[in-house]
Amino acid sequence: AQTVTQSQPEMSVQEAETVTLSCTYDTSENNYYLFWYKQPPSRQMILVIRQEAYKQQNATENRFSVNFQKAAKSFSLKISDSQLGDTAMYFCAFMKLKTSYDKVIFGPGTSLSVIP
Amino acid sequence: GAVVSQHPSRVICKSGTSVKIECRSLDFQATTMFWYRQFPKKSLMLMATSNEGSKATYEQGVEKDKFLINHASLTLSTLTVTSAHPEDSSFYICSAAPFFGSSETQYFGPGTRLLVL
C-alpha cells in the first residue's frame, strides 16, 4: 500500500520569503503521479503542481517548484516570494499511473501561515 | 472550465434523518467521482469511488449501507447519509475525473458541511 508522510504539521514564513514544505512517500510502483494541493480557509481544494514520476525534470508553476527525488521518495514544495494568499493547508498526494483513473492518497497536511 | 459543484454547501439535520448531497460536473462528463470526508484540521479520507452506471467501491471501514452512493449519470453523483448521527457530522468533498482528458486530472467540489444535532 502507498503512504504519504508530511513531517511538518505547521510552518510559518515571512511575506516575500521562501519556504519549503517536505513530503515523503512509500510505494513499490515505478510509474505514478505526485501532487501538491492547497486548501485555503474556504476549503476549496486547489491543485498547485503535479509531477510525473517518469520525468526527471522538476515541475515548476510560477512561484511554486518541486524537488523530486525518486530514489529517496521525496517530493518537497518550494514557495518563493511568499504572499499572504499562500496561507493555507498544503497536502502532498500520490496516485498510481494507470490507463483509467485511480484514487489519490493524501498526506496529513502542513498548515502554512504567511506573516506580514 | 472544469467546474464541480456540490449541493447543499451546508446542512443541519436532526439525528435519525437522512441527508442527500449532490456532486455535479458542470462543464464536463465524469466517468469517475470520488467522495471524501474531512475532519477539522485533518486530511481528506477517501470514502468511496463512484463509477457511472456501476456500484460504488467503498474503502475499508466505510459502511456502504450508511453512506449510499449513486452515480446515475456522467454529470451527477449523490451521497446519502442514512439515519445520520452526530458522529457523521463532518465536511464532505467530492471530486470528478473527466471522461476525456489526461488520466491524472481530477477536479474538486467546494465541499458540504454536515452538522447532525
Give the DSSP per-residue string, chain A.
--EEE---SEEEEETT--EEE--EEE-S-SSEEEEEEEE-TT---EEEEEEETT--SPPEETTEEEEEETTTTEEEEEE-S--GGG-EEEEEEEEE--SS----EE---EEEEEE-
Q: What is the pLDDT of residue A100?
A: 66
Q: What is the pLDDT of residue A92?
A: 98
Give the closest-approach CA distance of A17 to chain B in angstroms.
25
pLDDT > 70 in chain A, percent: 97
- pLDDT exceeds 70 at position B14: yes
Instruction: Write the pLDDT tens digit of every residue in B52-106.
Output: 888 899 999 999 999 999 988 999 999 999 999 999 999 999 999 887 666 567 8
Chain B residues close to A111, C-beta within 8 Å: 41
> Which of B38, B97, B110 minimises the CB distance to A101?
B97
Mean pLDDT value of segment A100-110: 88
Q: What is the pLDDT of residue B102?
A: 60
For chain B, the average pLDDT equals 92
Interface test with B, best of A101, A111, A112, A113 (most B CBs within 10 A): A101
Instruction: Write the pLDDT tens digit of every residue in A46-76.
Output: 999 999 999 989 999 999 999 999 999 999 9
Chain B residues close to A98, C-beta within 8 Å: 103
Q: What is the pLDDT of residue B10?
A: 97
For chain A, the average pLDDT equals 94
